[in-house]
């Protein structure tokens, strides 16, 4: 029996030959330095922040080289695949501005001419290449049952040998074609394994774009390439896909580093050109001084819904991911705060190579505060409205009802050179401006802390004198402040801080104490944005009503 006959017997249903597939996936028409890369998740769960970082990098490297970034779904492990897995992945990512040039765009549809982009739809392709290997005597059917494999493993463990189906353990290599045909005709189940040409005692060197040169032993295990169900293993499938889709760079988690000898060998045996690798270490968390892996279970910030729920601007997350990607990004961004991330040229060699980066939520919070502070009031209004629509219905109603008023509140100390940085996320907004809405103010059990002035009559006198004698809706800021000073003079508070410091006993207190009384009576809080602006927005009538609570 010839190898060809044997291959036809094992894989009779292959529709196209591997040569035909090579023709169907011609070289891409791109510049020689264009990066073609992919995100290749299995549809078994939702992407986490580490995956987002990976996508961010892949997209940037593809974009800045005028290359291609595509989404390939690796669903050969049918048991772990979840329902609507693709749309779940896409939903989470699209909010983060990760758009793919090619690939799946829903659970069923795709764009691009290098598809299908879902491995379960590429069964024939993998089988065509498996057939090639059988014809070339580089692969063989293996009948070893689970029990047999367990027995081998137990023996290897007991005798302290390397585990796996290699060397003298790889017995099925020596089954004749005729015997194999007979066993298959008798109904025996089998997988297809690749004959490893590797020698464990020789080393290969892989030059990783992030980790640098790594030396590893060659693979000598006869890996399964086609499983009993006729579908390929991930290792085999991904190599064929990256070859046919003309991937130039693989950016992925470093849990795959140990598979590199196996992967490179598959590329070699199939006669494929190698891709370049950039393996990313997992993100870390500083847990009171000890570093550990960021965990989806323990750390809410590891999941992507967290950012939506909290209302952290996507742009802030992206800026933070850029600072993790390249150590020199931050300085560049400080110098060019209005530039787009897309103007920065990322480099693989500037990705930290000494283990995982610390994922620092405080740093992200800071970036976010800066980012929000530079938004126009109307833009911030729209964003908060959109956020509240999903996550805070009561606030959404207020926002919709008082659009212009809210925009003015948000505009206090904004749109100026050094804007106020009080919101790190959209969910902070209500917590800081609730008192500006009468509906909320009037329906709440309020607690006031007037700080230095504690006497009730004194508080009443300050408020009453102020509103009756010194407040006017039409005052400029200067006029307003000089009236506050006049109020202080009349009531025995120092209007000049220097004078107060020189002679504190001469006064009941100072101008700050008086402002605090007014501020607290209006808002309950002694920490608010500019008092003059608050007063103007409230207007005399509402100020009076709030003061009357103390008469
Ligand atoms: N499907 C693999 C995963 O989900 C992808 C590995 C790769 O990018 O090659 O981790």
Q: What is the pLDDT of residues 458-498, one digit of tens each?
A: 999 999 999 999 999 999 999 999 999 999 999 999 999 99
Rounded to the nearest whole angstrom, what is the distance from the C-alpha of residue 200 to the centroid of ligand 1? 25
Looking from the CA of residue 250, the nearest atom of ligand 1 is 8
- Under 8 Å CB-to-CB from 229, ≥6 apart: which residues? 78
CA distance linking residue 443 with residue 509, whole number of Å = 33
Q: What angle do CA 173, 174, 178 make, to 5 degrees?
A: 105
Calculate mean pLDDT across residues 60-82.
Answer: 94
What is the model's pLDDT at position 75?
94
Asked if residues 232 and 226 have their Cβ atoms less than 8 Å apart, the reply is yes
Q: What angle do CA 224, 229, 232 make, to 5 degrees?
A: 45
Asked if residues 397 and 437 have their Cβ atoms less than 8 Å apart, the reply is no
| Ligand 1 pocket at CB < 6 A | 40-42, 74, 234, 238, 250, 252, 256
pLDDT at 354 over 80: no
Encode pLDDT of 72-116 as tens digits: 999 998 888 888 999 999 999 988 989 999 999 999 999 999 999
Looking from the CA of residue 74, the nearest atom of ligand 1 is 1
Three-state DSSP at 465 gives helix
- Under 8 Å CB-to-CB from 65, ≥6 apart: which residues? 31, 33, 34, 35
Rounded to the nearest whole angstrom, what is the distance from the C-alpha of residue 268 to the centroid of ligand 1? 20
Calculate mean pLDDT across residues 406-417.
Answer: 97
Rounded to the nearest whole angstrom, what is the distance from the C-alpha of residue 321 to the centroid of ligand 1? 20
Q: What angle do CA 152, 157, 163 make, to 5 degrees?
A: 65
Asked if residues 363 and 330 have their Cβ atoms less than 8 Å apart, the reply is no
How many C-beta atoms surround the C-beta of residue 485 within 10 A? Answer: 16
Q: Whose CA is nearest to atom 2 of ligand 1?
A: 41
CA distance linking residue 312 with residue 381, whole number of Å = 14
Calculate mean pLDDT across residues 509-536.
Answer: 97
What is the model's pLDDT at position 424?
98
Instruction: Give the β-pairing of 102-104 and 68-71.
Output: parallel
CA distance linking residue 528 with residue 436, whole number of Å = 11
Task: Map out the domains of the chain with their CATH numbers.
Answer: 5-10+123-280 (3.40.50.620), 31-121 (3.40.50.620), 285-373 (1.10.1160.10), 377-429 (no CATH), 456-550 (1.10.10.350)
Calculate mean pLDDT across residues 115-119.
Answer: 97
What is the model's pLDDT at position 78?
82
**Local confidence band at 517 (pLDDT 50, 70, 90 cut-offs):** very high
Encode pLDDT of 367-406 as tens digits: 999 999 999 999 999 999 999 999 999 999 999 999 999 9
Half-sphere exposure of 535 (CA within 13 A, CB side): 26
CA distance linking residue 76 with residue 66, whole number of Å = 31
Per cent of the chain over pLDDT 90 is 95
Helices (H) and strands (E) in the chain, counts: 23, 15
Encode pLDDT of 273-319 as tens digits: 999 999 999 999 999 999 999 999 999 999 999 999 999 999 999 99
Pocket test for ligand 1, best of 44, 74, 232 (most atoms within 8 A of CB): 74
How many C-beta atoms surround the C-beta of residue 255 within 10 A? Answer: 11
Encode pLDDT of 322-336 as tens digits: 999 999 999 999 999
**Local confidence band at 239 (pLDDT 50, 70, 90 cut-offs):** very high
Structure tokens at 231: 């579908």
Asked if residues 295 and 302 have their Cβ atoms less than 8 Å apart, the reply is yes
Calculate mean pLDDT across residues 400-418.
Answer: 97
Residue closest to 380 by CA, chosen among 429, 318, 338, 337? 429
What is the model's pLDDT at position 338?
87
Structure tokens at 267: 């590329």
Structure tokens at 318: 């992206």
CA distance linking residue 508 with residue 488, whole number of Å = 10
- Under 8 Å CB-to-CB from 86, ≥6 apart: which residues? 43, 73, 104, 106, 107, 118
Per cent of the chain over pLDDT 70 is 100
Rounded to the nearest whole angstrom, what is the distance from the C-alpha of residue 7 to the centroid of ligand 1? 29
Query: Which residue bears the tokens 């890996």?
Result: 223
What is the model's pLDDT at position 353?
84
Q: What is the pLDDT of the chain when averaged over all its residues? A: 96
Give me the residues paired with residue 142 across strands: 191
Asked if residues 77 and 234 have their Cβ atoms less than 8 Å apart, the reply is yes
Rounded to the nearest whole angstrom, what is the distance from the C-alpha of residue 45 to the centroid of ligand 1? 13
Rounded to the nearest whole angstrom, what is the distance from the C-alpha of residue 396 to the centroid of ligand 1? 40
What is the model's pLDDT at position 28?
98
Encode pLDDT of 175-226 as tens digits: 999 999 999 999 999 999 999 999 999 999 999 999 999 999 999 999 999 9
Query: Which residue bears the tokens 């045996």?
Result: 269
Asked if residues 316 and 391 have their Cβ atoms less than 8 Å apart, the reply is no
Asked if residues 368 and 379 have their Cβ atoms less than 8 Å apart, the reply is no
Give me the residues paired with residue 291 across strands: 286
What is the model's pLDDT at position 356?
85
């Amino acid at each position: 029996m010839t190898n060809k006959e044997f291959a036809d017997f094992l894989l009779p249903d292959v529709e196209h030959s591997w040569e035909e597939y090579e023709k169907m996936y011609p070289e891409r028409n791109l510049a020689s330095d264009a990066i073609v890369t992919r995100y290749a998740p299995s549809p078994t769960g939702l992407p986490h922040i580490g995956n987002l970082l990976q996508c961010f990098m892949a997209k940037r490297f593809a974009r800045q080289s005028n290359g291609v970034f595509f989404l390939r779904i690796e669903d050969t492990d049918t048991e772990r695949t979840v329902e609507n897995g693709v749309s779940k992945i896409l939903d989470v990512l699209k909010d983060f501005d990760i758009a793919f040039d090619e690939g799946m765009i829903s659970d069923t549809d795709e764009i691009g001419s290098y598809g299908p982009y879902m491995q379960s739809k590429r069964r024939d392709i993998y089988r065509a290449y498996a057939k090639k290997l059988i014809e070339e005597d580089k692969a063989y059917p293996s009948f070893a049952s689970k029990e047999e494999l367990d027995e081998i493993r137990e023996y290897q463990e007991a005798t302290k040998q390397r585990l796996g189906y290699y060397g003298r353990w790889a017995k099925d290599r020596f089954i004749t074609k005729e015997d194999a045909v007979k066993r298959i005709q008798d109904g025996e189940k089998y997988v297809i394994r690749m004959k490893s040409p590797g020698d464990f005692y020789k080393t290969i060197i892989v030059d990783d774009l992030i980790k640098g040169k790594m030396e590893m032993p060659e693979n000598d295990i006869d890996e399964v390439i086609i499983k009993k169900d006729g579908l390929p293993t991930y290792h085999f499938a991904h190599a064929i896909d990256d070859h046919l889709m003309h991937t130039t760079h693989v950016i992925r988690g470093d849990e795959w580093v140990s598979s590199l000898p196996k992967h490179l060998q598959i590329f070699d045996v199939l006669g494929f050109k190698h891709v370049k690798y950039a393996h990313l270490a997992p993100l870390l968390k500083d847990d009171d001084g000890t570093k550990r892996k960021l965990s989806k279970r323990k750390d809410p910030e590891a999941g992507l819904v967290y950012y939506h729920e909290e209302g952290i601007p996507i742009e802030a997350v992206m800026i933070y991911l850029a600072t993790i990607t390249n150590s020199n990004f931050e300085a560049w961004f400080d110098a060019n705060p209005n530039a787009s991330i897309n103007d920065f040229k990322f480099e693989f060699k500037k990705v930290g190579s000494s283990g995982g980066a610390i994922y620092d939520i405080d740093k992200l919070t800071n970036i976010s505060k800066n980012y929000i502070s530079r938004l126009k009031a109307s833009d911030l209004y729209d964003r908060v409205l959109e956020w509240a629509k999903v996550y805070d219905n009561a606030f959404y109603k207020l926002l919709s009802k008082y659009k212009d008023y809210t925009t003015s509140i948000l505009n206090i100390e904004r749109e100026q050179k050094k804007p106020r940085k009080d919101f790190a996320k959209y969910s902070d907004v209500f917590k800081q401006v609730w008192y500006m809405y009468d509906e909320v103010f009037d329906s709440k059990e309020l607690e006031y802390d007037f700080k230095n002035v504690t006497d009730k009559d004194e508080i009443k006198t300050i408020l009453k004198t102020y509103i009756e004698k010194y407040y006017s809706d039409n005052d400029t800021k200067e006029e307003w402040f000089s009236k506050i000073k006049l109020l202080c003079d009349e009531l025995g508070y120092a209007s000049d801080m220097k004078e107060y410091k020189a002679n504190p006993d001469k006064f009941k207190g100072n101008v700050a104490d008086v402002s605090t009384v007014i501020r607290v009576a209006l808002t309950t809080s002694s920490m608010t944005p500019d008092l003059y602006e608050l007063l103007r927005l409230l207007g005399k009538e509402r100020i009076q009503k709030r003061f009357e609570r103390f008469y």
